Amino acid sequence: DGGITQSPKYLFRKEGQNVTLSCEQNLNHDAMYWYRQDPGQGLRLIYYSQIVNDFQKGDIAEGYSVSREKKESFPLTVTSAQKNPTAFYLCATLGPSYLAHSYNEQFFGPGTRLTVL
Amino acid sequence: GQQVMQIPQYQHVQEGEDFTTYCNSSTTLSNIQWYKQRPGGHPVFLIQLVKSGEVKKQKRLTFQFGEAKKNSSLHITATQTTDVGTYFCAWPFSGTYKYIFGTGTRLKVLA
């Protein structure tokens, strides 16, 4: 949506299995983000990447891993170490500043709903 | 992890009534953004406020940034069913690329 693709929309996995969520963007944005949203909750930052080959942990990185080998792609792996992985996962990019001292808006993908059985 | 409480957490209003949500920070913010997430959807950027005391309007929506740049509000006049969703505030953390999102206010509009 809006140049950000997340697939699949719904994902089911058995407990103990690793799973990788895809996020692709064609907006040519440098910074990308992964958020987790639980029912009725806000957005919590898992990982973010300012530029290719660089990424930083967010507030809830434990049990997750990422890579940023290409500008367009920022896949998230939910490992078996994540104790409660069932959630809605949102990928986002950060748009460029158009004015000096202005800040950027985030563009979100449609999300992936992960259910671990 | 860091999250910011928004007030109220939930709000049910009759169509035509006004609605306000508040976002408060303990620290001075460089800017604040507002997003709307429709049920089952993803957050969509609404606006960004940068200046102390700034007020911006988008049709029936009025956004304010506090004089001390520590709080912000979103006010909707005469709500419509299309206003249903969760409204989030967000801001960049201390000059980094990391963003902090509020816990959101879920608005339901009864026709």
pLDDT in tens, A12-50: 999 889 999 999 999 999 999 999 999 878 899 999 999
Write a three-state SS string for A38-51. CCCCCEEEEEEEEE
Least confident segment among B34-38, B40-44, B56-60, B92-96: B92-96
> What is chain A's percent helix, strand, coil content, to nearest 5?
0, 50, 50
- pLDDT at position B2: 59
Question: Among residues B22, B83, B99, which one has the least CA distance to residue A56?
Answer: B99
Residues of A with CB below 8 A from B45's CB?
A: 105-107
Q: What was the pLDDT predicted at A55?
A: 96
Tell me chain B's radius of gyration from C-alpha atoms: 13
**Binary contact (B98, A45; C-beta < 8 A):** yes
Q: Report the 10 Å Cβ neighbour count for B87.
A: 24
- Residues comprising chain B, all counted: 111
Determine, for residues A1 and B90 on separate chains, whether the beta-carbon distance falls below 8 Å: no
Residue B50 to residue A103, Cβ atoms within 8 A = yes
- How many CA atoms lie within 13 Å of B41's alpha carbon, on the beta-carbon side? 15
> CB–CB of A22/A78 below 8 Å?
no
Which chain A residues are within 8 Å of B41, Cβ to Cβ? 110
Distance CA A65, CA A75 (A): 9
A102–B50: do the CB atoms touch at under 8 Å? yes
With CA atoms as reference, the chain A residue closest to B30 would be A103
CB A31 within 8 A of CB A93: yes
Q: What is the pLDDT of residue A97?
A: 66
pLDDT in tens, A40-76: 788 999 999 999 999 999 999 999 999 999 999 999 9
The Cβ of residue A32 has, within 10 Å, a number of other Cβ atoms equal to 30
Tens-digit pLDDT profile for residues A88-111? 999 999 987 655 545 578 999 999
